[in-house]
């Protein structure tokens, strides 16, 4: 069994949210939490600025501070969104960790196939080689 290495995902960079973008998001939400069943007034409670979808799951060339993809959440709603509510595959962290594990497994697979078939692309599953042609099963 090989040890899996952590492969960094190629995701967009985290940047500070400019004040004008923050004002646009605040006005769009009317100063209320964007949580599904929450309507906390954010001027009265601590809040978090949240990216939807998370930056860890976005492509590198994606705009990190697009106002349409930002939301303001009260801290309890932000914790549920980020860390999950206990159900399987809930929360941003679990989704990002799942994507990292998949990327790591794929990188391990490619390195094993490069060792198995040096100097050429490895044979894909489901192909039959021989008689001068390739045929899918």
Structural tokens at position 47 = 């809040």
What would the mean pLDDT of 108-113 be, rounded to a whole number? 80
Q: pLDDT digit string (tens) for 10-60?
A: 556 667 788 999 999 999 999 999 988 888 899 898 898 888 888 777 777
pLDDT tops 60 at residue 132: no
pLDDT at 30: 93
pLDDT at 83: 79
Tell me how far apart the alpha carbons of residues 45 and 133 are, in angstroms, rounded to a whole number.
68
pLDDT band at 121 (very low <50, low <70, confident <90, very high): low
* Beta-carbon count within 10 A of 111 CB: 12
Q: Which residue has the higher pLDDT, 53 or 90?
A: 53
- pTM, two decimals, is 0.58
Three-state secondary structure call for residue 112: helix
């Amino acid at each position: 069994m090989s040890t899996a290495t952590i492969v960094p995902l190629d995701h967009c960079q985290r940047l500070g949210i400019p004040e004008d973008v923050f004002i646009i998001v605040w006005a769009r939400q009317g100063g209320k939490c964007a949580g599904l069943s929450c309507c906390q007034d954010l001027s009265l409670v601590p809040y978090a600025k949240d990216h939807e979808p998370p930056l860890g799951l976005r492509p590198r060339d994606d705009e990190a501070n697009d106002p349409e993809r930002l939301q303001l959440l009260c801290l309890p709603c932000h914790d549920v969104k980020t860390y999950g509510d206990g159900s399987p595959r809930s929360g941003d962290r679990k989704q990002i960790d799942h994507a990292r594990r998949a990327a790591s497994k794929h990188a391990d697979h490619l390195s094993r196939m490069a060792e198995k078939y040096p100097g050429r692309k490895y044979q894909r599953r489901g192909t039959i080689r021989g008689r001068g042609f390739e045929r899918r099963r």
